[in-house]
Chain A
């Protein structure tokens, strides 16, 4: 029961084949990721969880081509990834908004950089601003476009950061612990915002997190990684119905999945 995966799953959008990555060379060489093999279907939401320092963020950088793999192959659309791939949105634990731009101008940034928006940015600016306002409203930030990021709370900044990651309608959204620095209430609220955005736009999402409940709440598939050097040690399909709510997180089914994942990660610490 994976109703949100495309029925005719031809080639996956992203394929990792025995990918490994080492930082440094010689005696200082450190293997961060080993033999990672996974497929991400178009429109799938995956989460990668694991103990800290297990190469989760490395995995994310490999998928987007920000880092070249030391071994194995990364393919997107069946093509080997050679450099940073286009059409990716990213959100990090820090909102990384530019303090010299208003929230609206921050969210416009991808449209100034990514083709084909870049070419027609000046001509279509009014339309783009409208798009930003709509997006802001959809994450509950309507009317805050004129504020500077430093005038917003942490949760609001993170919402803006999500807007910036999505405004150019990327095919792939990369989330590197985007809710990690927020308080529990804001975090859970943003899970629901994130899910609503995903249900509406159906981008492909990769979420890196160490919050198991977050992973199970949001993802179709959860990958558990081992301690460094990171290997994928467990793949768990989450077949809970959508939209999931906070209530879902208290059901026995949800708790069991989280518990299973927790057990597997505890083995890594043993």
Chain B
């Protein structure tokens, strides 16, 4: 195998694996004669996706929108809290246990509470996306700050740098790769959050579409919604990975890392 073939194959592998999986699914449906209501054939799901693309797109965009807002809020809040926790041992010891406790609460449980407070609509989905996705951002930013090399700190202190200067000139740039690594995780979590909220009780978004299609025993549409979520998830992840590589080239030492 030449180097060129090798690198081509590396690029093609994810697509081959996905095609293989779908093919297996298709064959299993045919061989075992699975009724469509249990598990529709992938070919049927894609057929529905093409037929009903306008509805799917509308609901997808609603979900994308709420996810994006929740995610942006999570970045803002997560970075600020992460910086505070990473910079001050007092804030760390005060808030960290609370954060862990909060993170351990299943977020499905808070959706009904949000419904009581805020009613149905976009707001509960935004808030769910936010609360589920800020935790990894906080932890990663705080870790980036807390692991500044002591020598680096000594260099700054011997120059007479203030705590603020150490934070802005060393801490923040150093925390950037940690932040961007966490964004990839956080964006997927934000999706889970908004879809959970739409599924538990909502009147919009892809989660609601799946729920109502499921109630009509329209399995093909439900699965089409599932596929749409997966595709959106991959796209958002890829967008974050791209931003990561652009912003923190130094952390990869200039190498291309996927």
Contact = CB atoms under 8 A, between A and B. Distances in A.
Contacts, number: 63
Contacts of B151: 92, 94, 96
Nearest to A151: B254
B165 A90 contact: no
A7 B222 CA distance: 91
Interface stretch (B2-10, B91-99, B155-163): B155-163
A181 B49 CA distance: 61
Given A96-B151, A113-B165, A84 B158 contact: yes
A148 B165 CA distance: 22
A38 B157 CA distance: 24
Interface in A96-121: 96, 98-101, 109-110, 112-115
A102 B113 CA distance: 51
Contacts of A157: none
A150 interface: yes
A99 B254 contact: no
B154 interface: yes
Pick from A66, A96, A164 the residue with the most CB of B within 10 Å: A96
A174 interface: yes
A98 B160 CA distance: 18
Q: Chain B, interface size: which category?
A: 20 to 34
Nearest to B156: A113
Interface string B214-256: 0000000000000000000000000000000000101101100
A150 B154 CA distance: 21
Interface string A158-200: 0000001000100000100000000000000000000000000
B119 interface: no
A64 interface: yes
Contacts of B254: 148, 150-151
Contact of B157 (A66, A92, A96): A66
A66 B170 CA distance: 18
Interface in A52-87: 61, 64, 66, 84-87
A88 interface: yes
Interface in B154-192: 154-161, 165, 169-170, 173-174, 176
Interface string B118-162: 000000000000000000000000000000010110111111110
10 contacts: A87-B160, A88-B159, A98-B152, A98-B174, A99-B251, A99-B253, A100-B176, A101-B173, A150-B250, A174-B158
